[in-house]
Amino acid sequence: MRIAKYIANAGYCSRRDAEKLIYSKKVYINNEICETPSIKVLKNDIIKINDKQIIIEKKIKLWKLYKPTKIICTNKDPQKRKTIFEIIPKNMPRTISVGRLDYMSEGLILLTNNGDFARKLELPSSHILRVYRVIVKGNIIKNDLKIINNGVSINKIFYQVKIIIEKNIHNKTWLIIKLFEGKNREIRNICKHFKWPILQLIRLQYGSIKITKEKPGQFREINPIPADFL
């Protein structure tokens, strides 16, 4: 395994940030400075950054968090906004989010200690169900739902989702949206195209894991890891 990937899979930082550390001469392999991210590490090699040994946890762990709104899913933010990694317990090992929810979205976000596992769960080929509840302003034209549910192209990107109307109260429509790919801002792009102003967007489910009674900011480990994730 290449050194940059090793560091990322250990949960220390992203692969890109690992490459920056390597070029800054801050990564050591067996007490020698690592010169390039392409170097491959072996099973018994000792990897250190800032005099701290970096070890890949053999046991994969998984946690779920109810992400509040106005929180981002990255490790660092140039705008200094709060991140999900600032609201999880301080004694946690380094974790990686499985995909992301945007700044104004809320609900289920998964975290793991293994980078390869995170990427596996994100891949469209894994065909993992995501379920969202979306509240939009106004009423929905049922023919629009028919168009979307048959698959729709927006700005040359094809979206395949399933949308049902959950309820309609006081000029607001509650939608349940199911998808399997998780393309960038998929739901927001669809709603914008059909002129549905979003009032609230909540992820309810990822695979067999659901938000149940959790409230924004609540966090817990998933143990054992569900069979559909393995």
> Among this protein's residues, is 144 annotated catalytic?
no
CATH 3.30.160.40 corresponds to the domain 62-125+209-229: no
N-to-C CA span, the chain: 21
Report residue 115: phi and psi, to 5°.
-65, -40
Per residue in 95-136, pLDDT (tens digit) is 889 999 999 999 999 999 888 899 899 988 889 999 999 999
Per residue in 13-66, pLDDT (tens digit) is 878 889 999 999 999 999 999 999 989 999 899 999 988 999 887 789 999 999
Contact 193, 151 (CB under 8 A): no
pLDDT at 210: 97
pLDDT at 56: 82
For the chain, residues classed under CATH 3.10.290.10 are: 3-53
| Average pLDDT of the segment spanning 73-93 | 90
For the chain, residues classed under CATH 3.30.70.1560 are: 129-206
CATH 3.30.70.1560 corresponds to the domain 129-206: yes
Q: How confident is the model at residue 2 (pLDDT cuts 50, 70, 90)?
A: very high
d(CA 11, CA 22): 16
Structure token pair of residue 183: 């393309």
Per residue in 185-224, pLDDT (tens digit) is 999 999 999 999 999 999 999 999 999 999 999 999 999 9
Residues recorded for the chain:
230
pLDDT at 225: 95
Correct CATH for 3-53 of 3.30.200.20, 3.10.290.10, 3.30.70.20, 3.30.870.10: 3.10.290.10
Q: What are the CA-CA distances from residue 6 to residues 42, 55, 97 (Å)? A: 10, 9, 17
Structure token pair of residue 200: 């609230």
Which of 47, 105, 102, 38 has the alpha carbon at shortest distance from 74?
102
Q: Which residue has the tokens 């899913």?
A: 73
Catalytic residue among 45, 77, 102, 228: 102
